[in-house]
Amino acid sequence: MNWRLQFRVSAGRHLFRSANFHGLVGWRNLWICPRQLHYRSSSALTACRNLVSMRPVFQAPNRMFLLQRPPETNTEKLAIISGERIQGVRPFSLSSTPMVFFGVGRGGNNGGKVKLTLKDVTELIQKKECYRIVVMAGAGLSTPSGIPDFRSPKSGLYDNVQQYNIPYPEAIFELSYFFQNPKPFYMLAKELYPGNYRPNYTHYFLRLLLDKGLLLRLYTQNIDGLERVAGIPPDKLVEAHGTFASATCTVCRRSYPGEDFRADVMADKIPQCPVCIGIIKPDIVFFGEELPHRFFLHVTDFPMADLLFVIGTSLEVEPFASLASAVHSSVPRLLINRDLVGPFAYRPQNTDVAELGDVVSGVEKVVALLGWEEELQELIKKETEKVKEPT
């Protein structure tokens, strides 16, 4: 093995094993000096230096990433955008990880190349120059199915929580409040439980990407399970914020199929473990909980990706939001969303394309440019007929 590659792998492995990032300062002479020889841009070198100066934002004693609450004020958002915490501590960004270990990430300005258009991106797909597509999806993927998102003014779930009788919106996804009063969460779970809604046009577009062998992985923030219903298999899916497909007892930690407790949830009952009578909680990730193990597939998926779709997400909840910056700077990123968000707003690249407005309308434009209208309609018709068939 080449000594440079061996050094990268060895040092990278030890960094990942570190319980927190306080100890990284002691690695400065061992890590930074040799690595400087291999960086080809000042932005990449800066990212490496920043990593050494980091302190842990994701305080996980067992070395796992935790779901972070989004910034609540403009000051906090500005601090994150500028890369500086108010206390002077730089927040850890997942985008820095592949940049340091593999020499990739959103650095530079695309070498002065002409800015891409939506047509350019679809032509890359048609020519099979992009065939390892990673998709990041948020609540906007499911709103056309009738499921409200969380943060839209007036219509979002967080603006309509009076019925749940909770002290503040995010409490419904906080463990401390759940153990105190689990009923509001199960009221929401009854609304979102799989089976109440059907996949929409955009879900089936992602399914068509899969059928054509173009989908490397779908990373979703959604907990409604509509990606599974649309036919995305579990091995192609990373449900970053959890799923109703399984559930765990909060006392004895036994695991159960989520469907076993559907009847209780629909009957406004709080599910209880048949063994220890503890509360059964669906495997939805609450604020401060560990993300699923499959989330760490991003370490290999994003460096491999040759096209990134970002669909229907505010890119406010970490660590999911940082993934948008984890692909190589030469990789096209297509945002289909109501607004400009995340790095598309504060650090745009020539390889970025933003199709703003209604998500379904944006996807329809992509499908039309690809010439896939008939295929997609046939798929939707076939899947719809499956649902209508008697069981």
Known catalytic residues?
241
Place of tokens 């219903």: 229
Which residues are within 8 A (CB) of 308 and not within 5 positions of it... i.e. 6 or more apart?
133, 134, 135, 136, 302, 324, 327, 331, 332, 333, 334
Q: What string of DSSP letters covers 198-233?
A: ---HHHHHHHHHHHTT-EEEEEE---S-HHHHTT--
CA distance 221 to 239: 6
Instruction: Reduce the DSSP state of residue 90 to 3 states and report it.
Output: coil
Residue 257, both tokens: 């199929």
Sheet holding 307-311, edge to edge: 237-239, 215-220, 133-137, 307-311, 333-337, 352-356
Among candidate residues 294, 305, 352, the one with its CA nearest the CA of residue 134: 305
Among candidate residues 220, 231, 216, 233, the one with its CA nearest the CA of residue 376: 231
- CA atoms within a 13 Å half-sphere pointing along the CA-CB vector of 10: 11
